Amino acid sequence: MAAKVQEVENKKASKARSREGVRGQWWPCETTDAELRELQNEGMISEHWSFTRDSDVPQPDADERVMTKAWVERGLSLPCSEFFLSVLDTYGLQPHNICPNSYLLLSNFATLCEGHLGIRPDIKLWQFFFRVKKETKDKAMLNCGSMTFMLRSGRMYPPHDSHESVRYWNAGWFYVKNASVPSIHDGLPPFSNTPPEELASWSFIPTLAQTPILEKAARRISCLTLWRKKTYAPYSEFPLAVTRWKRIRKTLRRKKNECPERLLLDLQSVPAPKSLAPTPEAAARLPPRNPGWSKHLRLTPGRRSTSA
């Protein structure tokens, strides 16, 4: 039995080492028809797609562009936005030079600007909040996933999910017909299978004082972050206590005749955790408690509540 377990572990390690050997490069295409048809049915890609199974490196036609499933799932679609094209132009990038998790950051930033601030996403505002983290191997720039965008230290920005592992995303590539917006842009730039060259824009930090709209937008983003932190922090700092108290409240929502006597006796002696008590400032902003909870807490076997 031990020999079989060791054999399985050796196979896993060998496979991991072989794939790690091509880190930062394209992996042979593993895309399937079912995956692309699902993306098409959900409206994420057009019907003009194709792929060559087990191809080593993308070789699109002149009117085609390379896409991956990981990018599409994180917000990239064609025709792409002017903001995304400005990111590629400012940093001198190809789409495959950006790590997949950074596509989610770009999508969230565009949604924040358009949906909450009511402005168009701007590259200077992006550079004000986010910096570039270079991805290298043996001190050489990677081709696929050359950079990751990270929040600058000291910037107040709404919290986002931590980066998830997207291993072997460079195996899920396919071709899609390029889409342009007349009189605005010609779509994604032609495909070039090369790593980027570091530019001065990678370390540039813009000042927003000369652009009142962007300066106001940065203040509003910071205020939004501070408001969210003060509102939800009293409850997020004690996850175990919150989970326990939620379980008790769910039980208390039952009707009186559905609760056994022993359960009612036990629940009367269980107060709300003191660690859940918000600060006086946060308590002033909380809605009034449901009176039904306190009514059930006063129930005792064989006697109706005085507030019933």
Q: pLDDT tens digits for 271-305?
A: 444 444 455 655 555 555 444 433 333 333 344 43
pLDDT value, residue 17: 41
Give the residue, 68 or 138, on which the prediction is more confident.
68
pLDDT value for 294: 37
Q: Whole-model pTM above 0.85?
A: no
The predicted structure's pLDDT at residue 37: 92
Contact 54, 175 (CB under 8 A): no
**pLDDT one-digit tens code per residue, 219-265:** 888 888 877 665 555 444 444 444 555 555 555 554 445 544 544 44
Q: In what order do the strands lie in the sheet with 49-50?
A: 49-50, 173-177, 64-68
Q: What is the pLDDT of residue 292?
A: 43
Q: Given this model, what pLDDT does residue 167 score? A: 77
- 175 in Cβ contact with 49 (< 8 Å): yes
Structure tokens at 5: 């377990």
| Average model confidence (pLDDT) across the chain | 76
| Secondary structure letter of residue 112 according to DSSP | I
Q: What integer pLDDT is reported at residue 9 of this predicted model? A: 62
ω into residue 79 within 30 of 0, thus cis?
yes
pLDDT > 90: percent of the chain? 28
Domain ranges of the chain: 23-229, 238-283+292-297
Higher per-residue confidence, 127 vs 270: 127
Average pLDDT over residues 110-122: 90
Per-residue pLDDT for 157 more than 80? yes
Question: Of 149, 150, 151, 147, which is closest to residue 135 (Cα–Cα)?
Answer: 147
pLDDT tens digits, one per residue of 168-197: 888 889 999 999 889 889 999 999 998 999
Q: What percent of the chain has a predicted confidence (pLDDT) above 70?
A: 65
- The full length of the chain comes to 308
From 53-67, 75-89, 238-252, the region with the lowest mean pLDDT? 238-252
Q: Which residue has the higher pLDDT, 219 or 2?
A: 219
Q: Which residue has the higher pLDDT, 251 or 49?
A: 49
Tokens of 19: 């794939």
pLDDT at 268: 47
